[in-house]
Amino acid sequence: MRLSTATLTFFGMVTSAISTPAMMRPAQYNNATTANADDRYRYDSDVQTLVAESMAGPNGKVNIGYFVNWGIYGRNFQPQDIDVTALTHILYAFADCDATTGVAKLTDTYADQEKHYATDSWSEPGTNLYGAMKQLYLLKKANRGLKTLLSFGGWTYSQSGHFNFVTNPSARATFISTAITLLEDNGFDGIDIDYEYPSSTEQGNGFAALIAELRTALDNHARNKGDVIPYLVTAAVGAGPTGYNTLPISQLNSALSFWNLMAYDYAGSWSTVSDDQANLYPGQTMTGFSTETALNYYLSHGASPNKVVMGIPLYGRAFTNTAGIRKPFSGVGPGSWENGVWDYKDLPRPGSTITEESDSVASYCYDAGAQTLVSYDTPNVVDKKAAYINSRGLAGGMFWELSNDKRGSESLVGTVARALGKLDTTQNHLNYPGSKFDNIRSQMGAMPPTTTSYISTSAPTTTVVVSTPPASSTNSSTVGGTCAGMAAWSSTAVYTAGIQVTYAGYLWQAKWWTQGETPRVYEGSPWNQLKSC
């Protein structure tokens, strides 16, 4: 860990857990262009389901990250910027639904389907998918173990009552058919529901019915397409009583692929004292919440450990005018994009001291001069959380949200991936014959390369092995020797994750989208040096 502007201290301390307003669409992006889906995949409850296949689990731990469609704007975080080598699943946030009819819809068609990136043509024939969703499909082609899910809801839409339809069987059927249309059109591997939160037993039962019916419909969809690998159904759920008291957990567990436990936002602007926002154990915290407490509740009520994914925040919550942890505060101050919330990549704050609480497994930075404290997870803390995931037999880790992470050895996503060990390599879907987009139906015009990716557990670096490299850039030359047939690096070519080139006598592989960045070894480099030629 680099601490050029902060000092580090360690001593024992404690825990906490509540609702999660972090997972919300910012207000300035709530009026983006939307599009409703049609219901060509109408749900039929009488069709036989693929029960055995739908219950098939991953073949390793999962490492899941949320990608937000508003991130392409001010944050300038594009799908090509995702380091997919440390991930098994990407959840695309957020799609929406009509509170009365249940119709599923996209929230920003420009970001999702229309934005043209540097490699996109303006003149290709047909009706084609562009935007961030096309880029995710391309990432899937290059990384066959990477699955993508379309996530519906989030804090903003949930609090606006958009899931009120779940108590209406007809509206549930409409949501399911139109959501599957969006899945098929845009090339997703499953559907994630982020309903924050069912406020009554009736809504909880309606939510469980929605998940069960969605599971059945997706199994039927796979069977009708001849797909052997099932589509996924996941749910983001709360880590406090508000999030889980109304849920029929055992019933939900039978239909869910994963529970994404939102194990953060235990403290924030709504609190009475500064406190830990994502502590693992209850210790000296005053919130009354902890991740272990929430986990034990879910497990004791019927959730399977190997389906529970622990959420980890890629952000910190600030408290100003405070004398330290668990002290009164006044205000939350500025943040990276909204007041009181700092991206992990902007932490620790300059001049602050980091404290890691060993008893609660939590951390924060504190600037005594500015009287400002930020509760966030350090790499040491998430390493301990990953060890806990392994020791409890949980499914893996989940992150909100990917644009906030650091690169290199301080990446929290990478830290957890290395600590978890073997990651899930279950193959994704590429075949979408029912898509309305020509390039999705044609799988972008070519069959994908065969790729294998893995996370090294012996060093804080990420390695990708590609058994069949993608085609080389047309404006590059080739070289001989042990790298015969490989394209030479070109400063004008665009490279995406997995593409291999030669430069300065070595074979290199792109980690993510890059153009004009010379292949070199340094922290944050978009290139992996594979071997000498």
Task: State how far the Cα of 58 lies from the Cα of 67, in Å rounded to an integer.
Answer: 21
Q: Can you tell me which residue has the tokens 């692929």?
A: 257
Task: State how far the Cα of 6 lies from the Cα of 340, in Å rounded to an integer.
Answer: 20
Q: Can you tell me which residue has the tokens 């997870």?
A: 377
Cross-strand bridge partners of residue 262? 238
Q: Can you tell me which residue has the tokens 């400002």?
A: 372
Q: Which H helix or E strand runs over 440? A: helix 438-441
Q: Are 364 and 329 in contact (CB under 8 A)?
A: no
DSSP state of 139: H
* Three-state secondary-structure class, residue 371: coil
Is 196 annotated in the active site?
A: yes
* Three-state secondary-structure class, residue 388: helix
Q: Are 22 and 400 in contact (CB under 8 A)?
A: yes
At residue 144, what are phi and psi to the nearest 5 degrees? Answer: -70, -10
Q: Which of 167, 161, 211, 165 is nearest to 191 (CA)?
A: 211
The radius of gyration computed from the CA coordinates of the chain, to the nearest angstrom, equals 23
DSSP state of 31: T
Task: State how far the Cα of 94 lies from the Cα of 400, in Å rounded to an integer.
Answer: 12
Cis, peptide link before residue 94, omega less than 30° from 0: yes
Which residue in 196, 213, 356, 357 is the catalytic one?
196
Which tokens belong to 365?
């930075």
Residues tagged active-site: 196
